[in-house]
Chains A and B, each alone.
Chain A
Amino acid sequence: MKTFKIPLRYVPIAATISVFCVVYLIGIICYDGFGVLSIFDLLQDNSYLGIAAIGTALVILTGGIDLSVGSVIAFTTILIAKILVAGGNAFLAISLALALGTLFGFCQGCLIHYFSLPPFLLTLAGMFFVRGCAFVVNVSDVPIKRDAVFDFVTDNLSISIGSEITISFYVVVYIVLLIAAIIFSQRTRAGRNIYAIGDNELAATLMGIPVGRTKIMTYTIAGFCYALGGVAFAFYLKSGYASHCVGMEMEAIAAVVIGGTLLTGGVGYIFGSFFGVLVLGLITALITYDGLDSCWSRIIVGLLMLVFIFMQNMITKISKSKSKSH
C-alpha cells in the first residue's frame, strides 16, 4: 500500500493524463481512421486553443478569470486579414495584433487591480468591447490573402516527419510557449508569486509580494497569449471573421479545469491544461468520428468538468483536514 502513492497535489493531473490515455485508447481500438499518429492531428487542430488556455490558466492561478479569450482571437484574425487585404505586410499585421492583444490585457489588469473591479465583470465587459471592435474592423468574413511572409512561415517553418506527418509552425509555437510557461510558473519568482496570490491574496500582500504588479503582468501575458492564439487560428483557418470563436472562453476555462487547475486559484499546473486541451479535442474528434451530434461533446465535457470539480473539492477537503490534524 505504501509502496506507490501519488502526492495529493499531483492527483488531479494524474487523473487528467489517465483520462486522456483511456479516451485515446478507446479511440484507437474502436475507430479505424484513428491511429497512434492522430495525436499530431489533435495538436494541429487545437493548438490555438492550447495557446489561449495557457493565458487563461495563468489568470485562473491568480484567482481571477478572463472571459475575453474568444473575442481577442476573433479580433486578431479579422485584423490580420484586413491588413493583408489592404496590402500590408504579414509581419506588420502579426506584430500589430500581438501588440494590441498585449495592450488590451495590460488595460484589463490595470483596471482590475487599481479599481478593484471584479475580474469576472470587467473581462465580461472587455469581451463585449473587443467583439465590438472586431466588428468595427470589418463586419463580414475576410479570407486571408497570402503574401510572401505568410507563405514563408507556412511553407518553411513547419517540420515534416516522414511523408504523412507535418507539424505546422503554430504547433511548434504552442509547444515552445508551453515549455516556457511551465518554467515560468514553476521556476521563477514571478511565477511563484502568481501561486501565492491565488492561494491567499491578503497573505501574499502581507508577505510583501508585489500583488498589483504580478496581477497586471499576468493579465498582460494572458492578453499576449490570446493574440498569439488568434494568430495561430488565422494561420489554421486562413480566414478572418469577427464572429469566430464565440463561446471559446468557456472552452478555454473547461480545458483549464479538466487540466486540474482549481478555479479558486493557487492550485494546478500549466502542464495539466495541455492535457485538458487534448482531452477536449479528443472528445470532439471522437464524437465526429462516431457521427454523433456535437451536442454530445458538450454534455460529455460538462460531465467531465463535474467529475474534476468534485475531485478537486475532495482533495481540498482532505488536505485541509490533514493540515488541521498536524
Chain B
Amino acid sequence: MKKMSNKYRHLVWPLASLALLLLYNAFFTEDFFKVYVKKGNASEQTQVVGKKDNTPAAQQPVAQPTEQQPPAEQQPVAQPTEQQPPAEQQPVAQTAEQSQPEEKDGGFSIFDYHFSGTPVLILKQGSEVMLLAIGMTLVIATGGIDISVGAVMAIAGAVAALLMDMFEHQLPASAMETGLYWLIPVFAALLLATLCGFWNGMLVAGCGIQPMVATLVLMVSGRGMAQLITSIGRSKPEQITFQSEQLAFLRNGYVLMVPCCLWIVVIMYIIAGLLTRKTALGLFIESVGNNEHASRYAGIESRRIKWLAYIICGFCAGMAGLLTLCDTKSIDANNAGLYLELDAILATVIGGTSMAGGRFFLSGSLIGAILIQTLTATMIANKVDSSIIPLPKALVVIIVCLLQSPVFRAKVFSLFASKSAKGGVQ
C-alpha cells in the first residue's frame, strides 16, 4: 500500500486540484458532466448517457434519457474512414474524464454516433497541449526546456496549409475525391517539425548551448519563418485556408464515437509510455537529466538521448500544429500556437516533472494539461471574460508550484504559523 502511494504521489496534488475544479463545476455549472451521444449529422439525437467518473463529483449528473437537448455547438462531422484496433479502447479510460457508453441499443451503429458535451469538448480543445506536453516532459526530464514549440506549431501548420491550398488549386477534382493526397501535407509538416526539433537538439546537444537560449532562437525566428511560408505565392503573409474535409477529419472527425484527435493523443501517449517505461530509454533520459557527465561515464550516450528528446518534442509540436490547423481549416502564422509552449510547460510542471530534470511523469503531464483546459472551460462556463482567464490560471499555477516546492512544504509543515503567509501569494 505504501509503495503504491509512493509511486503515485506526484499525481496527488494535480488530481486533487482537478477534483476540486470538477466538484465546483458539479455544483455551480449546469450540465457540466452531461455526455451526450449525438448522431453524425447532428440533426437527431437518440440517447443521453450519464457519465461515469472516478472523481467525487461524479454522482451529481444522472442519466436522463431523451429530454435533453444537445449542446449548441455542432461540430462538422466527416465520415469515419479509419478503424482503430479494439485493444486501444482500454487506455481511454485513464484520461480522467473519459466516458464510456452504458448501453448500446440494437441497430446502434458505432459509425453514426459520437460523444458530445462539455467533458469531450474540454478534452478535444486540450488535445494540442496534451500532445505538446509529451515532448515537453521528455525534454524537461533531460534537464532542458523547449520554448520554441509554439513557433514550430506555426511552421508545421503553415506548411500543411500551403500544400493543401496548392493541391486544391492545381489538382483535378477527381484526384481530390479519391486520392490520399492529404497525407502529403501531413508528412511534410511532421517532417519539418521534426527537423526543427533536430535543429534544437543540434544546438543543445551538439553545440552545448544552454537549452533555453538555443530554443529561444527558433522561438523568435520560427514565427517569422512561418509567416514567410504563408507568404509564398502571395504578396504578403496572410491566413491560408483550405476546404478539404479529409485533413480536417484529424481534428473534427470521430472514430469509434470518440474524437479523432483524442485517439491521436492516446496513441501518442501509449507510444511514449511504452518507449520510456518498457525500454531503457526512460531510464536513460532520467539519468541524463540527473547528471549528464556521470551518465556519460556510465556508458550512456548523453548527447544522443538529449537530441532524441528534442526531436520527439519537435514531432509532437508538429502534430499539435496540424491539429490547430484542422480546427479552423486555416492557419494564421502570427497567432497559431501563441503561448502554447507556456501551457505545455505549465502542464508538465503541474504534473510533477521537476524543472531541474531527472524525473518525469507522462501521466502527470496529461492530467496537468486536462487541469489547465478544465480551468479554462470552467471560467468560460461561468461567463468570465475570456481575456481575464490568464489571471486565475496564474494563481492556480503558483499555488500548485508552491505545493510542490519542497522548501515551501518544509516551511509550512514545520511552522504552522507561516501558513498565513501563503495568502500573500501575489
Chain A interfacial positions (CB closer than 8 Å to B)? 65, 104, 107-108, 111, 114-118, 120-122, 124-129, 131-133, 135-136, 139, 242-243, 246-247, 250, 253-254, 257, 263-264, 293-299, 301-303, 305-306, 309-310, 313
Contact = CB atoms under 8 A, between A and B. Distances in A.
Nearest to A135: B387
Interface string B355-391: 1100000000000000000000000000001011111
Interface SS of A by simple majority: helix
A302 B355 CA distance: 25
Contact of A128 (B212, B231, B333, B390): B390
B342 interface: yes
Contacts of A243: 387
Contact of A299 (B212, B224, B426): B224
B328 interface: no
B384 to A, nearest CB: 10
A136 B388 contact: yes
B220 A254 contact: yes
Contacts, number: 147
Interface SS of B by simple majority: helix
Interface stretch (B117-125, B187-195, B283-291, B392-400): B392-400
Q: Which 4 A-B pairs have the closest CB atoms?
A: A302-B221, A132-B391, A298-B224, A295-B227
Given A295-B227, A313-B207, A136 B425 contact: no
B225 interface: yes
Nearest to B421: A114
A306 to B, nearest CB: 5
Interface residues of B, number: 52
B426 A302 contact: no
Interface of B: 145, 207-210, 212-214, 216-228, 231, 236-237, 333, 338, 342, 345-346, 349, 355-356, 385, 387-395, 397-398, 401-402, 405, 407-408, 411, 425-426
Contacts of B411: 114-115
A263 B210 contact: yes
Given A107-B426, A129-B390, A309-B209, A117 B221 contact: no
A130 to B, nearest CB: 8
Contacts of B394: 125-129, 132
B208 A313 contact: yes
A254 B405 CA distance: 30
Contacts of A247: 338
B392 A132 contact: yes
Contact of A298 (B214, B220, B408): B220
Contacts of B388: 132, 135-136, 139
Contacts of A139: 385, 387-388
B214 A301 contact: no
B401 A122 contact: yes
17 contacts: A114-B407, A117-B402, A117-B405, A121-B401, A122-B401, A124-B342, A124-B346, A125-B346, A129-B394, A132-B389, A133-B391, A135-B385, A296-B228, A299-B228, A301-B220, A301-B221, A303-B221
